[in-house]
Amino acid sequence: MSRLFFLFFLVITLAFTSICTAEQRNDPREQALSDTLDLWREGRFEQLYDSLSHRSGMTRERFVQNMKDVEIKPVCCFNKLNAFRLISEKRTTAKVFARLGMEGGPGTDASQSREFTLDHEEGRWKMRMTDVKNLAGAKKKKSHVSRVKKLSH
């Protein structure tokens, strides 16, 4: 009886750990989105930078520093990526919809649903940097140039 219990316990443990550690998805675009969110959650910002497309205009160092300052991040496991669906696909781009679970700073929604554009580069799908920055809440800095209104008397 104890062997049966041990075998049952071992099977359940292995099944649970394989589900949580190796979340493989069928669609390569969905897998790319999932992998990107994992890098962000784990704080592996240099690898995250390398995995993104449309990075021009921001150095790796500045991106890493900006991401370290972000209070929100994707949640783990099953709530991280849901309701994924392909909207349209061309040879080098795909538009997808997904609901992402997020956690962190004050006023953060538990999930965000939106469209993303993925680019096929270097033989794999990549999320765009602008989408990651938008999810993180990074906004463009406003110009410090002030305009003077002319007052008519």
pLDDT digits (tens, 9 = 90+) for 20-77: 444 567 999 999 999 999 999 999 999 999 999 998 889 999 999 999 999 999 999 9
Taking only the tens place, the pLDDT of each residue in 116-152 is: 999 999 999 999 999 999 999 854 444 444 444 555 5
Measured in Å, how far apart are the chain's first and last C-alpha atoms?
Answer: 98
Beta strands, E only, 39-108: 73-74, 81-89, 93-103
Taking only the tens place, the pLDDT of each residue in 74-87 is: 999 989 999 999 99
More confident residue, 72 or 5: 72
In angstroms, rounded to a whole number, what is the distance separating the alpha carbons of residues 32 and 43? 17
Residues constituting the chain: 153
Residue with tokens 């997808």: 96
Question: Can you list the domains of the chain with their CATH numbers?
Answer: 19-136 (3.10.450.100)
Short-list 131, 113, 112, CA closest to 51: 131
Taking the CA atoms of residue 66, residue 67, residue 73 and residue 76 in that order, the dihedral angle to the nearest 10 degrees is 180
